[in-house]
Structure 1
Amino acid sequence: MIAMQYSFTLPADYDMAIVERRIVEKGPMLDGFPGLAFKAYLSARAGDAGSRENLYAPFYLWEKDEGLSDFLTGEGFVGLTRSFGWPTVRTWIAWQASLSGHLAEAAFATREILATEPHAPLGAIRRSESAAAAADVESGGALAAVAGFEPTTWTRVRFRLWRDKPEGGRDVQVYGVGHMSLGA
C-alpha cells in the first residue's frame, strides 16, 4: 500500500466555502476508484484547531501503485491542477494501515510528519509505528490509522481519521473531512 498527499496553501482571505463546495461536487467522483482504499477530502481554516494556514490537502491510501498512477495521469488530476496549480505529491510506503468498518463516518483527520534520524533502527521504528497505528483503531477511537515511511527525505507519517474533533499539537495538523471516497 502507498499513502499519498498533496496540499495547497491558500491565501489568508481565501473563501474556503469554494473548497467546501468543490469537495461536495467532486468528492463522489472517486467513490469506487480502482486500486483506492480511501481518499479523505481534507481542508483546514487558518486559526481553527491551531492551523496557521488555509489548506486543501486530500490524503489517499492506495492498495496498488497502478491506482495511484492512473489517478495522477487521469483527467481528474488535470482538472485539479488547472484549478489550484501543480502540487508536490508526497508519498509514503505504508508500514501499517488499520481501517475500521466505519470510515465513512470520519469527520476529522490528523497528520503528523516526523523526521527519521540517520542510522536509526528502522526495523524497531516500523514495529513501534505499526503497533501504535493498530492500537489507535482497536482501542484508541481512530476510524483509520496509517503509518508510513519515505526513504528519500527520511520522513514518517502518522495519519488518523476520527469521528470527533481531536486535539491538535505543535506538529500535528488537524483537518476537517468533507467527503470520504472508498475504493472498489
Structure 2
Amino acid sequence: MIAMQYNFTLPADYDMDIVRQRIASKGHMLDNFPGLAFKAYLYASKGQEPTKSSHNVYAPFYLWHDNEGLNNFICGDGFKAVSQAFGWPTVRQWSVWHGHVDAQVRSATFATREISQIEAYTDLGALRELETVAAKNMSKQAGALATLVAFDPNAWTLVRFTLWGDASAAQAAGLPDHVQAYEVGHVSAPGY
C-alpha cells in the first residue's frame, strides 16, 4: 500500500466555498477508481473551527492498494484537472506499514495528519513495530474510521493519518497540538 498527499496553500482571503463546491461536484468521480483504498477530500479554513488552521488549504489524502492505481491517477485526467485549477503540487508518498479502513469510512467528517522526522540510525524494525501497534490501537478509538502509519525513506519522515467520524472523537483521543487537522468534504472508497 502507498499513502499519497499533495497540498495547496491558498491565500488568506481565498473563498473556501470554491473548494467545498468543487468537492461537492467532483468528489464522486473517484468513488470507484481502480486501485484506490480511499481518497479523503481534505480542507481547512484559516482560523475556523474545528481545524484551527493557520492557512487555507486543500490537501487530498490517498491510500492506494498499489502503484498501478496511483500511476493511473497521476497520469490521468483527474490530476490534470486539479493541477490546472490549483497549480503544480509536490506529491508526497509514503510506504505503508499499517493501514486499516473501517466499513463506515465514507461517513468521516474530520481528519488528522502528523508528519515527523525519523532520526538517522533509528532502528527501523523496532520503529515499525511500535508504530504499527500504535496505529492498531488508534483504530480501536471510538470514531476512528481509517488509520495508517507510513514512512518515506527518501525524506526520512513518518506519517500518522486518521479519518474520524467527527472532530470530538479526534479531540477525545488527546492528539498533540502540532497535528494538522482537516475537515473532510467527501471520501471516495471503492468497496466500502
Question: Structure 2 length as normaliser, TM-score?
Answer: 0.93
SS at match of 1:125: helix
Match of 1:182 among 175, 183, 189: 189
Structure 2 distance, partners of 1:64, 1:151, is 18
- 1:59 is aligned with what amino acid? F
Give aligned pairs, total.
184
Give RMSD over aligned pairs: 1.1
Task: Work out the percentage of aligned pairs sharing the same amino acid.
Answer: 53
Aligned to 1:17: 17
**Mean CA deviation greater in 66-75 or 96-105:** 96-105
**Mean CA deviation greater in 62-71 or 122-131:** 122-131
Contact 1:113 1:171 in 2 (8 A): no
SS at match of 2:143: coil
Aligned to 1:114: 116
Contact 1:6 1:89 in 2 (8 A): yes
What is the CA distance between 1:87 and its match in structure 2? 0.1
What is the CA distance between 1:146 and its match in structure 2? 0.7
Aligned to 1:30: 30
What is the CA distance between 1:38 and its match in structure 2? 0.2
Structure 1 distance, partners of 2:158, 2:28, is 29
| Runs of 4+ displaced beyond 4 Å | none
SS at match of 2:166: coil
Cα distance change of structure 1 residues 136 and 155 upon mapping to structure 2, 3 Å threshold:
same
Structure 1 distance, partners of 2:189, 2:26, is 14
What is the CA distance between 1:140 and its match in structure 2? 4.8
| Pairs within 5 Å for 1:23-172 | 23-48=23-48, 49-165=51-167, 166-167=170-171, 169-172=176-179
Contiguous gaps of at least 5 residues in structure 2: none
Contact 1:100 1:143 in 2 (8 A): yes
Cα distance change of structure 1 residues 60 and 182 upon mapping to structure 2, 3 Å threshold:
same
Structure 2 distance, partners of 1:96, 1:72, is 23
- 1:23 is aligned with what amino acid? I
SS at match of 2:52: coil
- 2:36 is aligned with what amino acid? L
Listed one character per residue, the Cα deviations across residues 96-122 of structure 1 (whole Å, up to 9, x for unaligned) are 001111101100000000100000111
What is the CA distance between 1:124 and its match in structure 2? 0.8
Matched, 1:173 2:175: no
Contact 1:2 1:61 in 2 (8 A): yes
SS at match of 1:143: strand
Structure 1 distance, partners of 2:134, 2:176, is 17
Structure 2 distance, partners of 1:46, 1:34, is 34
Contact 1:2 1:94 in 2 (8 A): yes
Contiguous gaps of at least 5 residues in structure 1: none
- 1:5 is aligned with what amino acid? Q
